[in-house]
Amino acid sequence: MIETIMWILMVVSVIVYTVSAVLFSVVVFRGPTVGDQVLAIDAITYVTLVLIVLFSILFKEPILMVVAIPLALWVYALDIYVSKYLEKGDLGA
């Protein structure tokens, strides 16, 4: 009984996260400022991280969670580079 409820909740959350990723992608393409677009890309990536973890739990495959760590580090590096570019105008040392 509990497993069925957990399965239903996870499927519903996958649907909600997928819809939110689609809405964030609209902001990426039509965002008013570069900052809004960067935040939307961050949100899409974090939603993707959550979906990877949910799929890992749903399919009982813990190896899928290994993908989440480099993806989170990539988003962090993206934020650093974009903020440096927006502040100084170049990515030099």
- Residue range 54-65, pLDDT digits in tens: 888 888 888 888
Question: DSSP assignment of 9-60, as one string?
Answer: HHHHHHHHHHHHHHHHHHHHHH-SSHHHHHHHHHHHHHHHHHHHHHHHHHTT
DSSP code, position 63: G
* 78 vs 90: which has the higher pLDDT: 78
Residue 93 has pLDDT above 70, yes or no: no
* Whole-number average pLDDT of the chain: 87
Q: Is the pLDDT of residue 12 over 80?
A: yes
Tell which residue, 67, 78, 68, 92, has the closest CA to residue 37.
78
The pLDDT of residue 79 is 85
Q: 24 or 83: whose pLDDT is higher? A: 24
In this prediction, residue 22 carries a pLDDT of 93
pLDDT given at position 65:
86
